Amino acid sequence: MAETPTAARWSIRVVVLGYLLVLLVLPLALVVRRTFAHGISPVFDALTTSAAAHAFQITATVAGVAVVANTIFGVGVALLLVRHRFPGRRLLDAVIDLPVAVSPVVVGLALTLIYGSREPIGGWLTRNGLQIIFSLPGMVLATIFVGMPLVVRAVAPVLEEIGDEQEQAAYTLGASAWQTFRRITLPSIRGALAYGVVLALARSLGEYGAVAVVSGRIVGQTQTITLFVEERFDNFDQSAAYSAAFALAVVAVLSLVIARRIRPAGGTA
Amino acid sequence: MSIIARNVTKRFGAFTALDDVTIEVATGSLTALLGPSGSGKSTLLRVIAGLDTPDTGTVEIGGSDATRLPPQRRDVGFVFQHYAPFKHMTVARNVAFGLSIRKRPKAEIRGRVQELLELVHLEKFADRYPAQLSGGQRQRMALARALAVEPRVLLLDEPFGALDAQVRKELRIWLRRLHDDLHVTTVIVTHDQEEAMEVADEVVVMSDGTVAQVGAPQDIYDNPVNDWVMTFLGPVTNLKGALIRPHDLVLSADSTAESIPATVVGVTRLGFETRIALTYEGQELWAQVTSEVADQLGLAPGSTVYVRHRGPVMQVTS
């Protein structure tokens, strides 16, 4: 656009860029500088210790399971909200956004209240050999909860936009509900779904608060990479803390780049 | 295959879309459901297809009860008003969809798709996507897709509604010829009386969720059951409190026993046809004559002309 920048426009730009610089770019740049203050080899060493490697593995497992669960659940809920009319639909629509509003710490505490080994449900599960709190299942549950709305909110508007005529046409041509979903609905929402999945993945990898409460932060057992960063930092092992933080930031930025590339192709608004 | 919808009622909340409707469609016929928007014609078509479930009443296709059958098992071809193309598939794959769902051999599908694309004159567009087609081409693709599975009945919901007038006329004639070749029982929903009269063997006129009249096009045009049907099917004018077709008014320069003197108010020439606006005892009416007749009479605003009528007359009841 060929606009002549006026003084007002320039000052808005300076304020916005300055704001982003101070809050976003500068801290990230400092993390990078601090990480590589002594070259690459200390970073490599810090990230390949058994504690770090284990933390990466835990994060990958927890985030992986949570993203798969949220993808299936998210598409299902989006279909339910857009394609069906039932009592309580508006309530469900509102509840889906709850994880965005509620602090993850509260989520962690709530899960502990249900599944803690001294609570009725958690106690029963523990006696039957399934420990939720201070163990992987609880961490997965917490991560699922915080990432819940992302796939739903990415997919639902696209479902709304494409309407249900193509699906009805498929029915009249003999396609079952599953065939219609696989061959008509899924290809139509592919772009939006991929965008939602990437966002959910980024959110799951970076989750701290809820996981911190339910994991018990047991080093070498239930420590995710975010918990690892915090623990190393508290123990004055700045090299490990900054190296892991840098790795997390790289994954996050990559996710955003992928998400941005998917979004226009998916044609979602 | 014949279609019988019996005592079908369908409500959407407080709105009654169909109120105890019964229709019969003969095997191999082309029947039009004709009515203004909100008359229930599209809902009736969707009930026949199984896309909507009637609150009460039954649907029979080919002599067996289909009321509880899902749309997948009714063996109907349905063409939607906006064609509902599968946007992520090429034209060929759109047409092949029903066959590939039925797991027919690849070679058979390829041959059948080619055949259908030739039938609808789209053989050059097989590898295009629906977004790259014009409205008329998308319409023909939707028709080929519906015909691919050799349905027992073909249901068309306002199939030409979104097309411009010229394309619409061409497709109408083409559809009629296609039907004469294939003889598949066809029901077409339209709000355009000219379209219904032109393509259909039988017309079902609907209003407010009920059937107002059923008959051959010419028959219902000539013998409408009430003034609403008469007005809906074609132009009318009011002569001494009765409805009459403006082309049934005969104008002459000389007075006769049954004619009335009227004053010419305006003359509008539309090529072959000329419309004459008249007044008689303060009442406005209009006549439709050929331009040749108008020229012979030398009609001009202010002149007097003698008017008598032929054909059906309908006393206004409502």
Q: What is the per-residue pLDDT across A146-195, written as a single tens digit (0 to 9) for each?
A: 999 999 999 999 999 999 999 999 999 999 999 999 999 999 999 999 99
**DSSP code of residue B40:** S
> Under a CB-based contact definition with an 8 Å cutoff, are residues A211 and A224 in contact?
yes
Reported as type and span, the H/E element at residue A14 is helix A7-20
Which pLDDT score is estimated for B189? Answer: 97
Which region among A70-74, A246-250, A264-268, B311-315 has the lowest average model confidence (pLDDT)?
A264-268
What letter does residue A92 receive in the DSSP assignment?
H
Q: Which residue of A has its CA nearest to B85?
A: A166
Note whether B204 and B40 are within 8 A (CB). no
Average pLDDT over residues B64-70: 93
Which residue(s) pair with B79 in the sheet? B156
The predicted pLDDT at position A6 comes to 82
Say how many CB pairs under 8 Å bridge A and B.
58
In Å, how far are A78, A184, A200, B166, B233 from A160, measured between CA atoms?
A: 9, 14, 21, 33, 38
% of chain A with per-residue pLDDT over 90: 61
- Which helix (H) or strand (E) segment holds residue B5: the answer is strand B3-12
A172:B49 CB<8 A = yes
Residue by residue, DSSP assigns B84-110 as: ---TTS-HHHHHHHHHHHTT--HHHHH
Whether A172 sits inside 8 A of B71 (CB atoms) is: yes
Q: Chain A: give the shortest CA distance to residue B137, in Å.
A: 17
Residue that the structure tokens 């284990």 belong to: A54
- Asked if B228 reaches chain A (Cβ–Cβ under 8 Å), the answer is no
Q: Look at residue A268 in the predicted model and tell me its pLDDT.
A: 39
- Whether A267 shows a pLDDT value over 80: the answer reads no
* Closest alpha carbon within chain B to A190: B88
Q: Cβ of B80 and A170 within 8 Å?
A: no
Give contacts of B69 with chain A, Cβ < 8 Å: none
pLDDT, tens digit, 9 for 90 and up, residues B183-237? 999 999 999 999 999 999 999 999 999 999 999 999 999 999 998 999 999 999 9
Q: Which tokens is A38 given? A: 């002594």
**Is the pLDDT assigned to residue A266 strictly greater than 50?**
no
What was the pLDDT predicted at A263? 66
Mean pLDDT rounded to a whole number for chain B: 92
Report pLDDT digits (tens) over A49-107: 999 999 999 999 999 999 999 999 999 999 999 999 999 999 999 999 998 889 999 99
- pLDDT value at residue A4: 63
pLDDT over 50 (residue A213): yes
The predicted model scores a pTM of 0.83
The DSSP bridge pattern shows strands B242-244 and B249-252 to be unpaired
Measure Cα distances from A192 to A145, A150, A168, A228, B311 in Å. Answer: 20, 11, 21, 33, 63
Per-residue pLDDT of B120-154, as tens digits, reads 999 999 999 999 999 999 999 999 999 999 999 99
Average pLDDT over residues B100-110: 95
- The predicted pLDDT at position B259 comes to 87
Q: Which of A162, A165, A175 sits opposite B101 (nearest CB)?
A: A175
Q: Residue A3: its pLDDT value, please?
A: 58
Nearest-CB residue to A179 (from B80, B101, B142): B101
Q: Give the residue carrying structure tokens 């623990």.
A: A231
B136 interfacial to chain A (CB closer than 8 Å)? no
Which residues are CB-neighbours of B307 under 8 A, at least 6 positions away? B239, B249, B250, B251, B259, B260, B261, B262, B278, B280, B285, B287
Closest CA to A108 of A217, A198, A235: A217
Per the document, the length of chain A is 269
Give the mutation candidate from A172, A182, A193 for the B interface (greatest B CB count, under 10 A).
A172
ipTM: 0.86
> What is the C-alpha to C-alpha distance for residues B315 and B318, in angstroms, rounded to an integer?
9
Those residues with Cβ within 8 angstroms of residue B125's Cβ, 6 or more apart along the chain or in another chain: B91, B117, B132, B133, B137, B141
* Chain B neighbors of A175, CB-CB under 8 A: 72, 97, 101
**Beta strand pairing status for B260-270 and B273-280?**
antiparallel
* Cα(A12)–Cα(A3) distance, integer angstroms: 15
Band (pLDDT 50/70/90 cuts) for residue A264 is low
Rounded to an integer, the average pLDDT of A211-227 is 89
Interface test with A, best of B48, B51, B72 (most A CBs within 10 A): B72
Write the DSSP symbol of residue B21.
Answer: E
Contact (CB<8Å) B78/A188: no
Structure letter (DSSP) for residue A6: -
